Structure 1
Amino acid sequence: MFLWRAEVSPGVSVAFTDIHAGNLALHVGDDAAHVRRRRGELEGAAGLTPGSLRFMDQVHGSTVEMMEPGTAAPTADAMVSRGLPLAVMVADCIPAVLVAQDADGTPVLAAVHAGRPGIANGILPAAVERMRAAGATGIRAWLGPSICGKCYEVPADLRDQVAAQVPATRAETSWGTPALDLPAGARSQLEAAGVVVEYAGQCTLESEQLFSYRRSSTTGRFAGIVWSHD
């Protein structure tokens, strides 16, 4: 079920699922009832109330939504909440989760879908800014499994375009062709924003425990989740 899971601060946990949790996305042609059952099993494994885990309709955009009790699933690529459980789904992009607290000690959480367009368009700094607007201090980040710079081959002009915006993304594959290193780009943006990166996951393309769109375009999505608990 969980590839990695930890209580990262008192009352707040972060986890990343693996293929044993199954596909958690409704948009990849899977049976919706099966997906909802798996989401329920994930909530149960995390000790969450059924139906409490918030998912997004992810569109590779730059929208950050503030989630409140009763808020419907947004069309966005980042969500921020005061303790409400959040999820982000990926199959090569970075599932980034961020944790902080406000002046009253209330957890301020974020889940971010950081793919190539998101990194280029600053979705991570935008999420950090929204967290700080909610009173967050001491923000820390966990970057879940994603495709690595040694495996993410792209055309040279695309590499140049993204690297012009985020220089740390410039890379080469292990076989010497142009590539993008999204985790390096994410780390550079977060560190520039004063966020401590606590964890970075393994390469999705290299791990059979994870879904990878580059390995197979017909595939599921695993999740990064963050939640508060007693």
Structure 2
Amino acid sequence: MKTILFFSFLLLATCPEWAYGQFKGKKFLSGDARIGFNTTNPDQGKSNNSYNYNLNLGIGKFKTETRASGWNLSTALNGGTSYVPVSNETIKIDGIRGFSVGAGHFWEFYKHFNANFGIFGGPFVNADYQYKKETRFNGTESFEDKTQAVVASLGLSAGAYYKLNERWWLTASLAFSQTFGASYTFVNTTAITGDPLEASSQAISYGFSPGITFPSVGLGLRYFLRD
């Protein structure tokens, strides 16, 4: 998998400046969205449901025929309603369970195979705020952890495009690697059942992660602005 991604970027780096189409100076908007809903109805007990969305938006510009850069914004959310039996009672877990928002900068290098199809890839840097609420159980007691984190990351991504017409491309992500990440995390814990409890902790962490997620498939659209 690492070999595949290496040769993909090697191919991009050796792409000639002349290519199919005239891209230099063109500005574009890109984006992809995912929305999900799920409901379960057990034979005994109350029904559970969940929902989530993920939205990514970007704006960029071709600096040359084979090189582009730009900025992106992202946000995600998940939540739902579930019922969990604890000791002699049933606890309702309801509402938003996670949320994130972030911004970053990307650099992309292109290999145009013909007038309609090509691949691209390059590095990116991101900064994100993340919120997560989790419920955990310890015997007859239950606790709620609220986690807030500020995360900075550096990585690589690769994808492909197919030209639908002069204004629209269909894009697909193919591989993803978050090479380095650093975060500051704050956790607040409260007791839902059992003895009263409230505690907090914080941590700073960082690390390298050279692994590659391949394939990392996701579809999106790109629109080229008028000159």
TM-score (norm 1): 0.23
* Structure ranking higher on relative contact order (CA contacts 8 Å, 6+ apart): 1
When you count helix as a share of all residues, which structure comes out higher? 1
Q: Which has the larger radius of gyration?
A: 2
TM-score, L = length of structure 2: 0.24
